[in-house]
Structure 1
């Protein structure tokens, strides 16, 4: 005999109904009787087979044919909509439910047993759900309300996990019962076909597991009872309930965002039937709770989205502050890691790896990257059981029990990987998951299938070698980060393409400017040489024939400045004709240069500026170039802090390997963030410097000289707080 798997059991066409209900099926094409339950004759008293007879031709069905719900249904305006009302048959009041499905009109009957005031009493409890705002409290309120409505001994909220297993998250029970709160149930307890059915039909009751089902009489095989409220239940599930000492059960689907989020599950140790009105009221209460919870989660999600968007915007600003994509990702890897809320982060770009936090070593990261590329995971890849599945194949350590990854450039192998450490957990299951093979009676047909477990005693499973699962919020967060990184890459690509388009034009323009500068340098040196010579001769004559010592000292100062200017002009003329390799680089102590620039700057802008000079180390360079660098940077520091109440400038240097780093700091007006990328452009002035004299050339000269010297210049600045310039000179 072939083994019937649980997930292959057909549950929507059992051919039977439960014995508390009655079923009549009408062919919508000709209004003839297509099928009916065997017990229908108990109400209407017919003796012969009525299949294919017209409903209107059978007198005992006049009350059905004349009922408003039936009249509305045959007009075709209520397809798949279950309309319910009441009907009196033989002095007995019944619930009547009418709906059309798959070319048939279904009429279901069951006796009314709910007292008139019970519904109003229960409705007061349901109103509590509307005012409940806290997410967990919503479900705690719901189980109490449904326990009051149904009188069941145990009412639980069963939430589905991502893997279709479930967990009890709220419970209302009699005090003498063992609690199932936080107990987990395997996927097979509510198999796939059952979950699909719960998306169509939101409530299902089993009044008595020992009751005998009623056969459906029909000439048509496999009558679909997917929407029926009186459908007979699979014998496998009935055995499951019996093994758990459950005599009656009632379930309601919890639908959130059109998905089966969970179930309200009610159990009773003895047979118990709930009137249809009570079941509908329980369904309404569940619907209200689901909507309240959905609104609660939407509010949390909106708040989270706002904060995440803000954080990602700040990340984008930081990433765009660098000059190229790889440097941007590498230098801000700590920020990406922090925003991801993972244990470790690694990026592989252009064959280079940066990692931060708890990650494997670079060799293992490279192996994981190659594996991901070989698997063609083009989008995101999430796995919280990565170590469990691939530790032997890839030689993993427990820093990568869980990983998430995404490619930035699959062709080049550029990608980002996030890591999670092992998270040891204990899961309480409702009984051991093992099942036994047994023969079960499927409505008078014996079938070999897996028998439900005999015991529901709590079984504790220890979970190891796995990380915390990747939740929706985790996935959303990493997708947002990836989106920001992609946008940054596009920005850099656009800048590169734009720069390439202008490159030829700029090269030609630079050639022209260089030629003009050479000519200009020669002209200035030649045109200024004669007047300077005349000035020097006149000053020398004045010194020779003047006997007043203070006047003589001033004349000598002027002569020194004339000599300095002549030397500067000669150097400029000489340097403009030299190539980089012809510079006469030597070790230069800039102390005298710095002291003189400081003195001159104070005399020019504000003698009250406090200048603190720390350690001064010699640098490698050409004296006139070094002088121009310090002249421009220190003068700017003094100038732009001169209007402060207590202007301060500090100058110090330090040795870092083969480099000498000079740090020149002021407490001046600062540089606006939006002007950051324009600081070293020629003839560029900051938006907040209009009240100061200048032509916007100085820092451009500094940038070019530092490049010629084989060094660099950078800065940090805060508006209204000051600026710090960093000059990086070769030290040897």
Structure 2
């Protein structure tokens, strides 16, 4: 006997649609599938519909307004709109016509309109409402969506790491029981349903008890309804909704960085259709709320990073002047404990240990060390559910949250952080258990929808609050700073001499940096002045543009000279870090470099530009040198090409500067960033060999990483990886 799992059901291949619309599917040969109810609308048997082209069927469905097939084709194959939508009338009833491409087929959907037509003028007020509700965008979103669709309950349901979900915002009708804070088990929304939510963000069922309409012309398995708004729901899902007391349902996906973060789940006790216009508006507002949430999240991260950055800077300064690492770490221990939000901290080394706050007993500490050693080499170990042998969970004060970072493994220097058990009560919407029924005909067990959604309470013990990624990164940075200081203790005098040499070299470099990077803004001023002298009748808009270019260039020169002056006075300059979109600066640099290197035939491609954390002047100099090199070393090609684009990888943003120029012998990549380093194949191109040295210094200052891939005579790609 085989056990059938929920995720094995191919819900997108059900072969049926809901009752309030019609569906046609076309390939190059014509209509290959159609819903049975279309026959009654067109007064044509299904066999007479199948095989006809979309050009033949569209006028039969609706003649008003007259539809332009070429315009429809342009929209559904374009980059901005991939779905054509038009309001039409059929037998004096308003419908939405929707046409789109999927799986190399053309889908034509018709669905009935709601009696209450949406007003576009309200969009501004919806957006303002989301922004002005004191940062709780999800709660505001539930209020707006419930107002738009008129459902009894609208809730935001966030997925946890274990794929269970929790209600974090809710708007309900009077007299209804709140589900705020309730948890739902992972199997309530199986894997294939989650995958569809990512691909198609709006789903609904108008009446779970209404009959469904079969699709004729193809077998159900041959009709992929992944992007079909009319797709009928699976019997298991319908039964689940019925058990939950819902007659109608709708959901809107919350997708963040390609992952299903949560859902806006809507339920109504009576049948109620959410038409296409309402769904599009709700999906738009959901995306607006996502953007607002991400913006607030970024602000919080920036504040936390600033606090952590100040302590990291102070720790580095203290370690450079105090030779006793232990004393310095002890001085900063209370700060580390507060920033990470732990209950206890211990610094342990071969000479003993010292602790702050509440920490495990010596016996428990030995268990922790023994367990970590068994795991192999772990520079960083962390867990939120460590289990102690022989611990009495009812009586003992336990610390399931453990974090250990190696400072100097050879001398057994470690920093430990501890978190106490976090006991809390989970309230589940029904007991989270999967129930199977037996089907004697197929000889399989299949999952049955839960019948109870009454509050089921579970006390959670034995775990601590989880360690956040930002906290882990901070502790790693503390270890890195300390290790660097320890490494410097090997030869204090020699190190001081090295620092003196480095400072002198840096001062020598500043002059070259100034003359090198000032060429670009000075060239902009020179070109503008030459054009003004050569032409007396320049239009006002051209003169204004030239004046703005001159002003921008002078501001850049002033900022760069100020920074250089500060650097000559001190080894440290307090740069202001902010979130910057470099798109406009990149375009300005490109135009200036094309003129400077006489590369007017250059093909330039600018892709997506993600915002990055940095300092404006330093980012300008970094892109100036990389883009300038790309333009310069490709300028002698018959068809020079430079491409700049960025990609987001987790918390980092990578910028790529790609050219088809002379290339670099990759075996020299270890020293291409050395000052005055000129590559053998760069003869015939102007330059002093300090541009990449400047790039490396700036990248180090911005905590970014520069890598290069290149092939001689083919081209070069530089990648700058900025931390989030």
Common fold, TM-score beyond 0.5? yes
Retained in 2: the 8 A contact 1:430–1:459? yes
Name 1:458's counterpart in structure 2.
Answer: 455
Q: Could you say which residue in structure 2 is the equivalent of 1:375?
A: 375
> What's the counterpart of residue 680 of structure 1?
none
Tell me the equivalent position of 2:22.
22
Checking the alignment, whether the CA contact within 8 Å between 1:345 and 1:416 is kept in structure 2 is yes
Tell whether the 8 Å contact from 2:75 to 2:83 is kept in structure 1 after alignment. no
1:288 alignment partner, SS class = helix
Summarize the Cα distance change of 1:330–1:113 in structure 2 as closer, same or farther, 3 Å threshold: closer
Partner of 2:12, secondary structure, is: coil
The alpha-carbon distance between structure 1 residues 500 and 266, as it changes in their structure 2 partners (threshold 3 A), is same
Q: Equivalent residues in 2 for 1:217-256 (5 A)?
A: 217-219=216-218, 221-256=221-256
User: CA 1:113/1:354 → structure 2, altered by over 3 Å: closer, same or farther?
Assistant: same
Question: Which residue in 2 is equivalent to 1:477?
Answer: 471
Is the 2:323–2:489 Cα contact (8 Å) retained in structure 1?
no
Kindly tell me the number of residue pairs found equivalent between the two proteins: 494
CA distance in structure 2 between the partners assigned to 1:39 and 1:239 by the alignment: 25
Question: In the alignment, is the contact (CA less than 8 A) between 1:153 and 1:267 conserved in 2?
Answer: yes
Change (3 A) 1:430 1:144: same
Mapped pair 1:468 → 2:462: no
2: CA distance between counterparts of 1:86 and 1:190? 33
C-alpha deviation, 1:392, in angstroms? 5.3
Instruction: Select the residue among 35, 51, 65 that pairs with 1:37.
Output: 35
How far the C-alpha of 1:55 sits from its partner, in A, is 0.8
Q: Compute the displacement of 1:226 (Å).
A: 1.9
Q: In structure 2, do the counterparts of structure 1 residues 335 and 127 end up closer, same or farther at CA, with 3 Å as the change threshold?
A: closer
Structure 2 counterpart of 1:593: none
Q: 2: CA distance between counterparts of 1:308 and 1:148?
A: 43
**1:59-458 pair list within 5 angstroms:** 67-68=67-68, 71-73=71-73, 77-78=77-78, 81-116=82-117, 118-119=118-119, 123=123, 126-132=126-132, 134-136=134-136, 138-219=137-218, 221-323=221-323, 325=325, 328-329=328-329, 332-350=332-350, 352-376=352-376, 378=378, 380-387=380-387, 391=389, 398-408=397-407, 414-438=413-437, 448-458=445-455
Query: Residues 107 and 415 (structure 1 numbering): CA distance in 2 closer, same or farther, change over 3 Å?
Result: farther
1-structure distance, mates of 2:104, 2:293: 37
The answer on whether the counterparts of 2:26 and 2:54 sit within 8 Å (CA) in structure 1 is: no
How far the C-alpha of 1:378 sits from its partner, in A, is 4.0
Instruction: Describe the superposition over 1:524-555 as per-residue Cα deviations: whole angstroms up to 9, x where unpaired.
Output: xxxxxxxxxxxxxxxxxxxxxxxxxxxxxxxx
Distance (whole Å) between structure 2 residues aligned to residue 10 and residue 130 of structure 1: 37
Shift of 1:322: 3.0
Shift of 1:24: 1.4
Query: Is there any run of 5+ residues in structure 2 with no aligned partner, and where?
Result: 498-569, 572-724
Aligned 8 A contact 1:122 1:145 in 2:
no
**Structure 1 pair 59/202, CA: closer, same or farther in 2 (3 Å)?**
closer
Deviation track 1:604-637 (CA, whole Å, cap 9, x = no partner) reads xxxxxxxxxxxxxxxxxxxxxxxxxxxxxxxxxx
1:151 and 1:57 map into 2 onto residues whose CA distance is 37
2:319/2:482 contact within 8 Å kept = yes
- Could you report, residue by residue, the CA deviation over 1:7-28 in whole angstroms, capped at 9, with x for unpaired residues? 333222222222222221122x
Q: Partners in 2 of 1:239 and 1:439 — Cα distance?
A: 17
Q: Residues 63 and 285 of structure 1: is their aligned pair in 2 closer, same or farther, counting only changes over 3 Å?
A: same
Structure 1 pair 31–358 and aligned structure 2 pair: CA distance change class (3 A)? farther
Superposition RMSD in Å: 3.5
Q: CA deviation at 1:248?
A: 0.7
**Alignment partners' CA distance in 1, 2:116 and 2:416:** 62
Compared CA separation, residues 351 and 95, structure 1 to 2 (3 A): farther
Task: Provide the C-alpha distance between the structure 1 equivalents of 2:54 and 2:247, rounded to a whole number of angstroms.
Answer: 40
Secondary structure at the aligned position of 1:49 is classed as helix
CA distance in 2, matches of 1:498, 1:73: 73
1:677-720 CA distance string (max 9 Å, x none)? xxxxxxxxxxxxxxxxxxxxxxxxxxxxxxxxxxxxxxxxxxxx
CA contact (8 A) 1:320 1:328 kept: no
> Following the alignment from structure 2 to structure 1, what is the Cα–Cα distance between the partners of residues 68 and 237?
37
Normalization by structure 1: what TM-score? 0.61
1-side partners of 2:416 and 2:435: how far apart? 43
Distance 1:55 1:74 in 2: 18
- Tell me, what secondary structure is at the counterpart of 1:94? strand
Contact 1:368 1:394 in 2 (8 A): no
How far, CA to CA, are the matches of 1:15 and 1:351 in structure 2?
73
TM-score computed with the length of structure 2 as normaliser: 0.61
Over 3 Å counting, the alpha-carbon distance change for 1:104 and 1:408 in structure 2 is farther
Q: Equivalents in 1 of 2:351, 2:151: separation in Å? A: 64
* 2:490 equivalent to 1:490: no
Shift of 1:439: 5.3
Structure 2 CA distance for partners of 1:324 and 1:176, relative to 1, 3 Å:
same
The SS at the match of 1:400 is coil
For 1:398 and 1:232, the matched residues in 2 are separated by 53
List alignment gaps of at least 5 residues for structure 1.
504-672, 675-732
* Cα distance change on mapping 1:208 and 1:497 into 2, 3 Å: farther
Once the two structures are TM-superposed, the CA of residue 277 in structure 1 deviates from its matched residue by 1.1
Q: Which residue of 2 aligns with 1:537?
A: none
| Contact 1:405–1:418 (8 Å) recurs in 2 | yes
Aligned pair in 2 of structure 1 residues 125, 222: CA closer, same or farther (>3 Å)? farther
Call closer, same or farther: CA 1:450–1:76 in 2, change over 3 Å.
closer
Cα pair 2:34 2:215 within 8 Å, conserved:
yes
Q: After superposition, where does 1:600-679 map in structure 2 within 5 Å?
A: none
CA contact (8 A) 2:2 2:443 kept: no
